Amino acid sequence: MISVYKKLIPCAAGLLFAFTTNAQIVEGTVKDAKTGETLPYVNVGIVGKSIGTVTNQDGKFKLDLKGSTADTLKLSMIGYKPQAFITGSYSTGKVIALQPDVVNLKEVKVKPKKWKTALLGNQTNSKSGNAGFTSNKLGNEIGTIIKIKKSPTLIKKFFANVAMEPQDSVKMRLNFYSVKDGLPDQLLNTRNIFVTLKKGQEQIALDLEPYNIIAEDKFVVTLEWIENARGQGVHFSASFFKGPIIARETSQADWEKVGMFGLGFYVLAEY
C-alpha cells in the first residue's frame, strides 16, 4: 500500500480578543458588525507559520500563539477585507473591526463560439496510492495544479476520488487559485464553496455553475479542512508522477510543494 503521510497535508466584522498571558492563548469571536451575526469558518493564523485555526459554527476560536509577540496575526475570509496586526500590541478586550470587501469582478470577454467540454486534472481512483489530511487540524489545505486547454475556461464541476473515507462526516472548503511561481496566488472564486463528505462516500462531485469560476491560465484547486470531526481524516486517491501536491499546514502558513504524488482531483470544464 502506497500512502503519503505528512503533517503538512494531511460585509464588516468585529473581533473580540481575550489573552491569557502565561499560555499565550488568544480566544475570540468573529461577528458581522452590521448584523451582529457570528461568522463561521473565518481563517485565523500567524502569517508564514503553522499556527492557525478556523472559527467554529458560532464564530469562536482559540489559538495558542506559542509565546510570539512580534508576529503578524491575520484574519481572512471571502467577502471581508483581511486584517493583520502585531500579536503583542493588543490587550484583553480589544475589538477589531473588519471592513466589507467589495469584489470587482474582472471582465472576461467571451466571443460567441461553440464551446467544447473536457475533464481536466487527475482522474485516478486508486485505493493503494493515497494522500490527504493526516489530522483534523483546522486550516489544513491540500490541492493540485490543473492545466487548461484554452483561455478562457469555465469550471463547471469538481470531482475528488476518495481512497479512505472518514469515520464521520467532515466539512471542507473548496478553493480555486491563480498560479504564480508555481504556487497559489489569488482566489478565483468570490464566494465560499462548502463540501460535506459523508461516511462511506467514495467520490465528491460538486456542481460549480452557480459560482461562475473562470480560469485564464493553469490554476490550483484545493480542499481545506474547516470543521473538526471524530476519528481519522479523509484520504484521496493519488498517483505517482502526477504531482506535486500543493499544501499548507494552516490558513496563513506558507505554501509548499510536496512529493511526486498527484491527488485525484479533476474538473469538468468548458473552453
pLDDT at 134: 58
C-alpha separations of 188 from 105, 133, 236 in Å: 10, 23, 23
pLDDT at 53: 93
- CA-nearest of 223, 237, 160, 164 to 199 is 164
pLDDT value at 191 more than 90:
yes
Mean pLDDT for the chain? 85
- The HSE-up count of residue 120 (CA atoms within 13 Å, CB side) is 26
pLDDT value at 187 more than 90:
yes
Residue 220: Cβ within 10 Å count: 24
- The HSE-up count of residue 1 (CA atoms within 13 Å, CB side) is 9
pLDDT value at 86 more than 80:
yes
Burial of 5 (0-12, 13-18, 19+ CB in 10 A): exposed
**Span 96-142, pLDDT tens digits:** 666 778 766 565 566 677 899 999 999 999 999 999 875 668 999 99
Cell 484574519, residue located: 75
Q: Which residues contact 217 (CB under 8 A, 6 or more apart)?
A: 148, 151, 178, 179
What 3-state class would DSSP assign to 64? strand
Cβ atoms of residues 219 and 177 within 8 Å: yes
The percentage of the chain sitting over the pLDDT mark of 70, rounded to a whole number, equals 82
Region 253-263: mean pLDDT is: 93
Region 189-217: mean pLDDT is: 96
- Sorted by where each starts, the structural domains of the chain and their CATH numbers stand as 13-98 (2.60.40.1120), 114-270 (2.60.120)
Count helices and strands (H / E) in the chain. 0, 24
**More confidently predicted of 250 and 17:** 250
- CA-nearest of 94, 89, 83, 91 to 29 is 94
What 3-state class would DSSP assign to 113? coil
pLDDT value at 80 more than 80:
yes
DSSP letter for 131, please.
E
0.75 cut: is pTM over it?
yes
pLDDT at 66: 78
pLDDT at 9: 38
Region 31-57: mean pLDDT is: 90
pLDDT at 143: 96
Residue 148: Cβ within 10 Å count: 18
- CA-nearest of 9, 3, 7 to 141 is 9
pLDDT at 74: 92
pLDDT value at 257 more than 90:
yes
The percentage of the chain sitting over the pLDDT mark of 90, rounded to a whole number, equals 56
Region 56-67: mean pLDDT is: 86
